[in-house]
Amino acid sequence: MEQQVEHTVIRFNHCHKDIFCFSVPEQCPSCAEELRGSRLQEAPVSLPSPLTNAHKTSCCLVVAPAYNNQDTDFDGTSDLHTGISSTKGVVFNYTRGGVRKDHTGWERCVSVPLVRPDMFPLLAQWDQYLERFAEGPMWDPAWHRFDQDHHNCFSFCLCFINGVLAVEGRSPLTRETFTQTFILPKMRRVSKYTTLYQNIQKHQYYMVNRQDGSQEDTMGQPEAF
């Protein structure tokens, strides 16, 4: 999965429009007025990408396009692959050949933090838990065969998460609960951002009517940006 160079998406306001682009144009694409700093209602702001480098994260569930879809992105059609990052950014992920420990290849992914920064005892043991879990017979191809539907990369991640919850004395999560609560909100944000980014690539900008006093609930302004 090659890392792609991305432009930064910026948003500025003019003539009651929120305008998204990669750089502020010389003229407003809505009213054609010349744009200077004094003519902008507010300073342009950059929108952070929802995609992160998993190797610079720690203790996260990470989601990326599957290995057999390296030429695709988060387009809603490609298969997805999941893993768990160590405290050093090594991504443990289950494949047909067993558990991989990837130091590269997860530079553009969705990250779901699993541990709060103040959970020091768990942070101190995270890597030990992860190594021990990955060596278990459940993930050894000689004992259990990878199954696309029932024994896959997500099974590995959810089993590990529930194992940690058990050690912490907390209730396990079902696949449905974890997906609905933690993964889908992130994926929806990625989908909105990707659509916005592709619109800017195609048309140089994207505009929506500005709603005074509130953030726009539009494709161009996803929640939590």
Rounded to an integer, the average pLDDT of 58-83 is 74
Rounded to an integer, the average pLDDT of 37-57 is 84
Tell me the two tokens of residue 21. 């682009």
By the 10 Å C-beta count (0-12 exposed, 13-18 middle, 19+ buried), 58 is classed as buried
**Residue-wise pLDDT tens digits, 157-195:** 999 999 999 988 899 999 999 999 888 999 999 999 999
5 is a domain residue: no
Helices (H) and strands (E) counted in the chain, each on its own, are 4, 9
Helix (H, G, I), strand (E, B) or coil at 22: coil
The pLDDT, as a whole number, for residue 4 is 52
Same domain, yes or no: 58 and 169: yes
Give the residue from 173, 197, 218 where a domain finishes: 173
**Residue-wise pLDDT tens digits, 9-26:** 999 888 888 999 999 888
In this predicted structure, the answer to whether residue 220 has a pLDDT above a threshold of 50 is: no
Alpha-carbon distance of 189 to 181, in angstroms, equals 13
Q: What angle do CA 145, 147, 152 make, to 5 degrees?
A: 100
Asked whether 113 and 60 are in contact (CB, 8 A), the reply is yes
Q: Where are the alpha helices (DSSP H) in 64-139?
A: 120-134
Alpha-carbon distance of 91 to 61, in angstroms, equals 9
93 vs 144: which has the higher pLDDT: 93
Task: Return the H-helix or E-strand segment holding 201.
Answer: helix 184-203
Alpha-carbon distance of 26 to 13, in angstroms, equals 14
Same domain, yes or no: 165 and 192: no
In this predicted structure, the answer to whether residue 94 has a pLDDT above a threshold of 70 is: yes
Q: Which amino acid is at 176?
A: E
In this predicted structure, the answer to whether residue 155 has a pLDDT above a threshold of 70 is: yes
Residues in the chain: 225
Rounded to an integer, the average pLDDT of 73-92 is 84
Global pTM? 0.79
The pLDDT, as a whole number, for residue 34 is 85
Domain of 19, in residue numbers = 10-48+187-209
End-to-end CA distance of the chain: 26
Same domain, yes or no: 73 and 162: yes
Confidence of residue 39 (pLDDT cuts 50, 70, 90): low
The pLDDT, as a whole number, for residue 70 is 46
Asked whether 59 and 114 are in contact (CB, 8 A), the reply is yes
Choose the weakest-confidence range: 28-42, 75-89, 157-171.
Answer: 28-42
205 is a domain residue: yes
Same domain, yes or no: 18 and 66: no
> What is the domain count for the chain?
2
Alpha-carbon distance of 104 to 16, in angstroms, equals 44
Average pLDDT, the chain: 84
